[in-house]
Amino acid sequence: MLRVSYSNGDDTYTFDCDGTAAVVTEDEIVIHNNVILDGEGKLTVDGNCDHRVLSVQDVAAELSRFTVTRGASPNGGCIRNDGTLTLRNSTVSRCSALGVPSDFADSRGGGIFTISGNTGDAIRNHSGTLMLT
């Protein structure tokens, strides 16, 4: 079971999982409000090798204790950042910056942070501010 609790004081959403939990997304999750998302070290968000997992618009977002995996997109396989993104104790892995061979040089940002098993550049911060801790 996955429960979400919200703390209005700091715009924090905490995902309370009974053990580990994986959520396979059907489409990209677009973050367009300032927010802190806390996976408590138990939540994996999976793009199923079909699409980018997360996109941060022109806002401040923090991912804490999250695993983001198996995203695929030409620019930012798992995460595309166009705002201010902070990753804390998070893992982004098995992501791919896809591109056709003639365009492959323009494919960037396979994944971000704990970098393992990515294709393309490991990190590409498009036009925002990126902080890794």
| Residue ranges making up the domain that contains 73 | 2-132
C-alpha closest to that of 85 among 115, 117, 55: 55
Number of domains in the chain: 1
Mean pLDDT score across all residues of the chain: 77
pLDDT tens per residue across span 104-131: 455 555 554 344 455 665 566 667 777 6
Contact in structure between 55 and 73 (CB atoms under 8 Å): no
Bridge-based pairing of strands 60-69 and 91-93 is parallel
pLDDT tens per residue across span 15-39: 777 788 888 999 999 999 899 888 8
Position 73 scores a pLDDT of: 85
Provide the β-strand partners of residue 91.
67
Residue 68 pLDDT > 90: yes
Residue 80 pLDDT > 80: yes
Bridge-based pairing of strands 2-7 and 91-93 is unpaired
